[in-house]
Amino acid sequence: MNRPRGRRDFILDSGGVSHFSQSNERIVAWMKYLADEYDGASILVPTLVMTELATGEARDARLHQLLRMIDDPRRPGRFWLDDDPPIAMRAGVLRTRALKQLATRGKRAISVVDAQVVALAEQRSLRHAVTIVTSDVSDIQLLVDLTGRPNIGVQSV
């Protein structure tokens, strides 16, 4: 089997988590695809994404089920991505730069969570390639472009 060399992490933003939590078959098929196509692929979820998605209602069961499915029993809980002050600062810088660019196009908002997701991806991209899985491709791509990192991809769901 001809696989890409190196490792690749896949970071799910809120749209990615929502997309895959809708169907067990969807996440199972995608995980199988990643296992077939990549050596060392990891699926990661920034903790801040759960702030956007968790409701405390019954529908959270689908989120919890997805998180159990992507958890690696050999390394439990290693799928979470936590930020720290330098990442938060970098996210703020990226968001401010993006807002300045968007202002020239008449758009005035960009998500703090999107900026955090991209800042986390930027940090991980120093070690290996990263793909952000999102339903908000235009904002994520703008933020990724501002990082200048060539090994961060954006995948639409």
How, if at all, do strands 129-134 and 80-81 pair? unpaired
Q: What is the pLDDT along the chain (157 residues), one digit of tens a residue?
A: 565 557 899 999 999 999 999 999 999 999 999 999 998 899 999 999 999 999 999 999 999 999 999 998 888 999 999 999 999 999 999 999 999 999 888 777 999 999 999 999 999 999 999 999 999 999 999 999 999 999 999 999 9
Q: Identify the structural domains of the chain with CATH numbers, from first to last.
A: 8-156 (3.40.50.1010)
Q: By three-state DSSP, how is residue 9 classified? A: strand
Q: How far apart are the first and last CA of the chain?
A: 26
Q: How many Å apart are CA 71 and CA 85, to the nearest integer?
A: 26
Q: In sequence order, which residues have a C-beta less than 8 Å from that of residue 5 and are 6 or more positions away?
A: 39
The label of the residue with tokens 């908000």 reads: 136
**pTM for the structure as a whole:** 0.93
